[in-house]
Every structure is written in structure tokens, then in C-alpha cells.
Structure 1
Amino acid sequence: MTDRPTVARCECGASAGPLGACVDYYHAVLAEEQGDPGMYRWHAVVVCAYFLQHPSAAHPKYLDGQYRQLQLCLDRGLDALLRVGARQVARNRRGTRPVHDLEPLSAYAPLPPGGPPRHFRATFRDLPVRDGSFVSDGHPAYGRRIEMIAEATLESWRSLQT
């Protein structure tokens, strides 16, 4: 009997891709977005989706807010999420103690118990890299792929409720 090599699986259920595990894709996205304002617009969505797909790498107290932020983004759009983030930054710059204002997210469902899900139909490992870039086919295409990851993240977490 011949032993087959075990395919390493990421916490989200994805196997490694050309860049490695999801964490390698995540770090590559973070590095590239630093020099690309069009890509950086998606930073909050990238962070929220990554940590919800890989909660062992996250601080548990932030997961509910991240879950709600993804809902806000998919419900009202990226600009609405960016406005909420800008409002939070402005509040924290006023010399007061930094506090997370969850009021803009109160209309959205809380993080379902019983997670994390073990599979997502779209993960960071699925992001195509061409010519060393995640945006080689343009920012709109990159944004759609990040939205797909966000949708898949919410979908899998919501499936825990059934």
C-alpha cells in the first residue's frame, strides 16, 4: 500500500495555491495595496473577510463587528462602509479614548454562534495573481473578487444558523 501525500488545508478549508496558504495571499494583498489607493479602498473588506475565514488569527472580540461590516458593505456598498470607517477615525481623533462605535452596524445580524465554518466557496487562495499583481485586470475586477469572498464568508457563517 502506498501512502498518498496529505494535502494541507487552511483553516477555511482551502488548499494551498501558487503563492502558498491563504495567509500568504493575505500578506501579499496587504503589501500590494499599500502602494495602490484603488486597491486599498478594499482594505477593510479584505481584513474582515480574512479574519472571519481564519478566526484563530483574529481577536475574538472584533469578529462580530467584522461580520456586521461585511453585511453593511454588501447591503449598502463599499462607499457606505468607508464612510462608517471615516466617522470612527474622526471620533477617535478628537482626543477621547478610542471606542468602537457599533451604532452604524446595529441594524445587522450578530455573528452566529457555533462557528467557524469549515468551508467557504471563495477564499483568498482563489485570488488570481498575474504578473505579480492582484489587479492586473483592473480595480473593478479586483473589487468584484473581494466582494465574492465577502459574500462567501457571510454565506458560510449564515449557514450555521440553519
Structure 2
Amino acid sequence: MTDRSAVGRCECGAAAGPLGTCADYYHAVLSEEQADPGMYRWHALVVCAYFLQHPSGAHPKYLDGQFRQLQLCLDRGLDALLRVGARQVAGNRHGRRPVHDLEPLSAYAPLPPGGPPRHFRATFRDLPFRDGSFVSDGHQAYGHRIETIAEATVESWRSLQT
């Protein structure tokens, strides 16, 4: 637990929302994704942004790659990120030794030291949950909100460099 959680705040600085903490939102998103392939399209972005906003629950060796993946998506779009992910999965099939190919991400800035940031302008707690769903107003609206969280995540980490 961080100091922020001791005062009713999540590790990312957000107060709990109607569903609880960001962790509650994250697990609810993952659960809903399982039944909704249209929503699952943003899964990689969800995971990367969540762990960069809540790094105490992440394995530190993956945070740099997750930061670079968010930058790739924001720079070249979700389809580019999905292609990189598909290439990674294909390279790890058929009993091959697992490969972690960071070459497609090498053009992007590494994770800045000194984190995590204390505040993000958009967090998982900000996701609206209506009619029992995160996509009650459509998949594109949901995707836009996830991309906004990704942008806020990169923005806050980059602010550590100044």
C-alpha cells in the first residue's frame, strides 16, 4: 500500500468511484472483455496503462516495454500496436523458446526514472459504467476513453523528465 491509499486514494492518485478503486474497474473491464470481442480490441492498451498507473502490481521488467507500447499506439494507432503484438505471439508459438522482441519499440522513449507519477488526468476510475457495461454507448466511445487514459499515462510519466 502507498501513502495515497492510506488516505482513501488509489496508487494513481484517484479517489474511489462507484465501482470502487481502479483495481475494481480494471478487473471489471477484464471480465467484460471476455464476453465482448469488440471490447477486447483495446486489451493491450488497458493492461499497459493500468500497470503504468499502478506499478506496484506490475513486474518492473515489463514497465519499459509497456510505456513504449503506449507511445507506439498513440503515435501510429491501435492497429500498429495490434500488429506488433500479433508478431510477438507468432514468434512464440510451436514450442519455441519465448522471445521478447523490443525492436519495433526501439524508436520510442524509455520509461523515465523517478516514477511513478503522483497524478494522472484520466484514470480507470473515470470510466463510466452504465447499464452494467463499459460499452453502453458503443465500442468506439469506449476505445476513445481507453486511449485518453493511455495519453494521460504517457503524459504523466513524461512530466517526470522535466
Mark yes or no: TM-score above 0.5.
yes
- Tell which structure's C-alpha radius of gyration is larger: 1
* % identical aligned pairs: 89
Question: Which string of whole-angstrom CA distances, capped at 9 and with x for unpartnered residues, describes residues 10-52 of structure 1?
Answer: 0000000000000000000000011111100000000000000
CA distance, structure 1, for counterparts of residue 115 and residue 87 of structure 2: 30
TM-score, scaled relative to structure 1? 0.95
Give the structure 1 partner of residue 127 of structure 2: 127
Give the structure 2 partner of residue 41 of structure 1: 41
TM-score, scaled relative to structure 2? 0.95
Give the structure 1 partner of residue 112 of structure 2: 112
Q: Is 1:152 the equivalent of 2:155?
A: no
Question: Which string of whole-angstrom CA distances, capped at 9 and with x for unpartnered residues, describes residues 62-116 of structure 1?
Answer: 0000000000001000000000000000000043210210000000000000000
Which runs of 5 or more structure 1 residues have no equivalent in the other structure?
1-5
Give the structure 1 partner of residue 18 of structure 2: 18
Large movers: runs of 4+ above 3 Å? none
What secondary structure sits across from 1:34 in the alignment?
helix
Which runs of 5 or more structure 2 residues have no equivalent in the other structure?
1-5
CA distance, structure 1, for counterparts of residue 147 and residue 90 of structure 2: 26
The RMSD of aligned alpha carbons is 0.9
